[in-house]
């Protein structure tokens, strides 16, 4: 699927604000120290700096943290293509851990493969990124999300 600069189209400001507001309500993303780095139509990037609190016993970023940012990136990618009255919930995802999650940070990229009326399928990719800019694919997967009506306040 490739390098993020290959597709950096920005979502419109209302969608970006909606995704950012939702992301900021996620306690786990805040706890991990993750941040949104790109919000495009059907494509969202989330970065996670490496720090001791997110590692496993060998010093690599834990698969749970890797999977969590991948799941959120796909969910928000799906949300960018849905109407204002919609939310998404993950139904299923599968992650292959291809290499130890090493680097100064991880970058998870969620890309919508198929956005349907009810179900959305996303490609999930996670790259380990070093300070010199070298990137290595450390995990990839696929996710299915279901569209639900946004609760009325």
Buried b (16+ CB within 10 A) or exposed e, 113-141: eebeeeebbbbbbbbbbeeeeeeeebbbb
Mean pLDDT of 63-87: 96
Within a domain: residue 2? no
The whole-model pTM stands at: 0.92
- Residue 152: pLDDT band by 50, 70, 90 thresholds? confident
Report pLDDT for 3: 46
Q: Does position 127 have pLDDT exceeding 90, yes or no?
A: yes
Range of the domain at 36: 9-149
Residue 121 sits in a domain whose CATH number is: 3.10.129.10
Report pLDDT for 153: 66
The tally of CA atoms less than 13 A away on the side-chain side of residue 149 is: 3
Report pLDDT for 11: 80
Within a domain: residue 4? no
Report pLDDT for 1: 43
Quote the tokens at residue 58: 């060998």
Within a domain: residue 39? yes
């Amino acid at each position: 699927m490739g390098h993020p600069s290959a597709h950096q189209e920005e979502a419109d400001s209302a969608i970006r604000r909606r995704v950012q507001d939702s992301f900021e309500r996620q306690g786990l993303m805040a706890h991990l120290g993750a941040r949104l780095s790109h919000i495009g139509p059907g494509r969202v990037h989330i970065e996670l700096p490496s720090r001791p609190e997110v590692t496993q016993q060998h010093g690599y970023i834990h698969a749970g943290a890797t999977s969590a940012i991948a799941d959120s990136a796909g969910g928000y990618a799906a949300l960018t293509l849905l109407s204002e009255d919609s939310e998404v919930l993950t139904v299923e995802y599968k992650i292959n851990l291809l290499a130890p999650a090493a680097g100064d940070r991880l970058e998870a990229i969620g890309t919508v493969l198929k956005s349907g009326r009810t179900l959305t399928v996303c490609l999930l990719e996670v790259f380990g990124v070093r300070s010199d800019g070298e990137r290595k694919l450390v995990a990839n997967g696929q996710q299915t999300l279901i569209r639900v009506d946004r609760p009325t306040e």
